[in-house]
Amino acid sequence: MKPIIILVQPQLPENLGAVARGMANFCLTQLRLVSPIAKSDDPRAIAMSAGAEKILEEAQIYSTLSESIADLHKVYGTTACERQMVKRYNSAKQAAVLVHKDLSESLQVGIVFGPERTGLNNDDLVLCNDLVQIPVNPEFSSLNLGQAVNVIAYECYQERLGKTIKPFLHVGESELASKGEAQSFLNELEKELDTASFWRIAHKKPIMWRNLQNIFTRSDFTKQEIRTLRGLLKIFRPSSKS
């Protein structure tokens, strides 16, 4: 298994081609595009891919990041600059070690890259387990999208060469929950908190809710744990008290 590269709103066809080329260089095959502005069949993308157009042809298109990661277990978000968010930051090398470990446990892994101009926004980053910041000159920290994918793909490939980490088995009930399962718990939680008027000061809800979501996305919940959490929500409903 290999990590899936996810590009959020890529703007330049040349970058799509450069991403495909770098992926092929380091044996990655699966590309997902979220609301792409650049088209993967653009001749400029195909030319830049230098023979890796199969990756572009087979790229899967999604309208939201959330949909694009619903079947994945672990998601890493890449960012050039530090954000005001309580997340673990990893270098590209550290991230490659984590990704390799995840893959050896048969987890589906996605690595997310942002739009050229703005990078990933906070709503995107909140969906990611961990962040990855390629160490670069702090005075000039933003890499070109294609180059950023290349660096990460390179590190993942080096990590994969000749390394095996004893896997922590996710079998049966201890299988890790997918992002979709975790998201449906969060949706229920939000509804319950709305009903219970948890957000006393309405305008504070977005930031409080973001913090709460971060608490949950930092953890690796198993399918059973998600079921337990959903069960837990039920005890606060008036109908179940009688």
- In the complex, minimum distance from the CB of residue 173 to ligand SAH, in angstroms, rounded to a whole number: 35
Q: Based on CB atoms, which residue is closest to ligand SAH, 146 or 185?
A: 146
Query: Given the rule CB under 6 A, which residues bind ligand SAH?
Result: 78-81, 113-114, 116, 119-120, 132-134, 136, 141-143, 145, 148
- In the complex, minimum distance from the CB of residue 215 to ligand SAH, in angstroms, rounded to a whole number: 24
- In the complex, minimum distance from the CB of residue 138 to ligand SAH, in angstroms, rounded to a whole number: 10
Q: Based on CB atoms, which residue is closest to ligand SAH, 155 or 225?
A: 155
Please give the residue whose beta carbon sits closest to ligand SAH in the complex.
119
Instruction: Check residue 27 and give left, alpha or beta (phi > 0: left; psi -120 to 50: alpha).
Output: left
- In the complex, minimum distance from the CB of residue 87 to ligand SAH, in angstroms, rounded to a whole number: 13
- In the complex, minimum distance from the CB of residue 82 to ligand SAH, in angstroms, rounded to a whole number: 9
> Within 3-69, where are the H helices?
13-25, 43-49, 53-57, 65-68
- In the complex, minimum distance from the CB of residue 94 to ligand SAH, in angstroms, rounded to a whole number: 12
The token pair at 41 is 């069949």
Residue pair 173/228 in contact by the 8 Å Cβ criterion: no
Distance CA 194, CA 196 (A): 5
Strand ranges for the chain from DSSP E = 4-8, 31-34, 60-62, 74-78, 89-90, 109-113, 130-132
Q: Based on CB atoms, which residue is closest to ligand SAH, 20 or 134?
A: 134
Q: Based on CB atoms, which residue is closest to ligand SAH, 31 or 120?
A: 120
Distance CA 228, CA 34 (A): 32
Q: Based on CB atoms, which residue is closest to ligand SAH, 65 or 120?
A: 120
Query: Residue 163: CB partners within 8 Å, gap ≥ 6?
Result: 100
Beta bridge partners of 76: 111, 130
Eight-class DSSP state of 9: S
Q: Based on CB atoms, which residue is closest to ligand SAH, 78 or 213?
A: 78
Provide the 3-class DSSP secondary structure of residue 239: helix
